[in-house]
C-alpha cells in the first residue's frame, strides 16, 4: 500500500508475483507523470486493517479494509477499501498474487 501511495512502480512490482507485474505497471504508469506534483495530487490510505481469512500452505488470503483518500487541486474524494488479496510464498518471499 505504501508503494502505491508514493507511486513507486519498481517497489510495487517487486511485491507482486511475476504474473501480476504487468498489471501493476499498467495501473500505476498513468500516475507517474503527476506523482512529482505532491502539492497538486495526493493519494493515501487511512485506517487500514488487515485480517487473515484463510491459509493453505504457502498461500494466504487477506482482507484489507479502510479508506483511500485522493486529492487533486484541492478537491478531495474518499473511497472505502474492502478487498481480498491472495499472498503466496515465491522464492522464499511473500508476494501478492491475486487471480
Query: How do residues 53-88 score in pLDDT, each as one tens digit?
Result: 999 999 999 999 999 998 888 889 999 999 999 999
Residue 31: pLDDT over 80: no
Q: What is the CATH number of the domain that holds 45?
A: 3.10.450.100
**Domain coverage including residue 72:** 2-96
- Name the pairing type of β-strands 41-56 and 59-72: antiparallel
- Indicate the pTM of the whole model: 0.76
Q: What is the DSSP string of 55-92?
A: EETTEEEEEEEEEEEEEETTEEEEEEEEEEEEEEEETT
Looking at the structure of the chain, the number of domains it has is 1
Confidence class for position 4, pLDDT limits 50, 70, 90: confident
User: Rounded to whole angstroms, how far apart are CA atoms 20 and 12?
Assistant: 10
Q: What is the pLDDT of residue 2?
A: 83
Average pLDDT for the chain:
87
Amino acid at each position: 500500500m505504501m508503494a502505491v501511495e508514493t507511486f513507486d512502480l519498481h517497489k510495487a512490482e517487486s511485491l507482486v508475483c511475476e504474473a501480476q507485474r504487468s498489471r501493476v505497471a499498467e495501473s500505476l504508469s498513468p500516475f507517474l507523470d503527476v506523482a512529482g506534483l505532491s502539492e497538486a495530487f495526493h493519494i493515501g490510505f487511512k485506517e487500514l486493517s488487515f485480517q487473515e481469512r484463510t491459509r493453505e500452505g504457502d498461500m494466504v488470503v487477506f482482507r484489507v479494509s479502510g479508506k483511500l483518500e485522493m486529492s487533486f487541486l484541492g478537491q478531495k474524494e474518499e473511497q472505502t477499501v474492502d478487498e481480498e488479496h491472495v499472498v503466496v510464498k515465491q522464492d522464499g518471499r511473500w508476494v501478492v498474487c491475486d487471480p
